[in-house]
Chain A
Amino acid sequence: MLTKLLKHEFRATARIMGPLYLILLAAALAANLTAGLLDADSFILNIVSALIVMAWFVAVIGVFIVAFILMLQRFYKNLLGDEGYLMFTLPVSVHQHVWSKLIVSAVWFILTGVVVVLSVLVLAFNVSFLTDLAEVFPKLFEQLNAYYAFNGTAFMLEGLILLFAGCMTFSLQFYAALAVGHSFPNHKMALSVVFYFVFQFAMQILGAFLILALDEGPLYQLLMRLDFHIDGAAAVHFAMWILIALTALYGAVFYFVTALTLKKRLNLE
């Protein structure tokens, strides 16, 4: 059932993100084509070309903002608004609902990043640029490997996982705030905003305690007693996994707040 939820969630979001990506890429292409005109003598052509570059820039900002708003809107409109009556009576668990929203919004965040990078490439594209790029990347990986015995692919993979986890955690804090805020009979949206900041504050306090504990507490002693024998590259990998774990933990807290609230305190208008 999760795959079906994902299918329809992508259907609902792709109709908005798809055209936006096309606009972004079209703006980049237009900017690329008019870039040649920049040095021309015509004042008007210069203006046109500058405007197109600006349009591309606005599209970049816009596409990120829309991806963000869509993440919020899909959650509160589809699950906590009138459509919630349909969604929460599907033969689907609350967990599947939350996961489908999470996965889809994370995919859009990452895809948005990818498309923006792609649009930069389109913008800067000329033949020599492409061949340069094709040469630089393998070289970069080679060098990294040579100097630090650094596995580029593994690092990329870890980076991607971290990015994915980061996107989900980012979304989850909003989901939890929306779910808790909408479990009250009145002022649902205002309360959601309040809860977002309450959560933020609570996590900061918790983080502060964690750092304090690490500084002088028994946890610090424990860590000191453990003898790590790792070299530079392994340390980076280790750090990556610690980061991933912390992000996941941060997200897990909000995941349970979200799922529990939707299960026990659902209060559709």
Chain B
Amino acid sequence: MKWQFNADAPIWSQLIAQIKVGIVTGAFPPGERLPSVRDLAAEAGVNPNTMQRALTELERDGLVYSQRTAGRFVTEDQSMIASAKRSLAESHIQTFLRAMAHLGYDREEILTLLRQEKIEEGEEHGSSGV
């Protein structure tokens, strides 16, 4: 997994988001054991206490669960993963909509643009696929 952090949000909240992405995209498959806090922290290059905090939050949300001795595991509850996926998508959309609103587009214009984008993208796909 590639870890990236921006400057303004707290590291732990960015960690939560990125681990969620990892779970949703299958980088951390359902039911699989997560690396230890220390290893995860080393991999992400962050403070172990911060990683601990992020995992505790994820545990509270139910996306990961811990077994006393065996460590932490990704949930096997597909509906929970799906809802995490949904909420990630929503937050991306929110960010996008805010940025577009800032540029002065309204809903309808945005939808039009999106549809056009979709067609162009499809064409690109078509041509490159040959």
- A–B contact, 8 Å CB criterion (strictly below): no
Where the two chains meet, the residues of B that have a C-beta atom closer than 8 Å to any C-beta of A are none
Where the two chains meet, the residues of A that have a C-beta atom closer than 8 Å to any C-beta of B are none
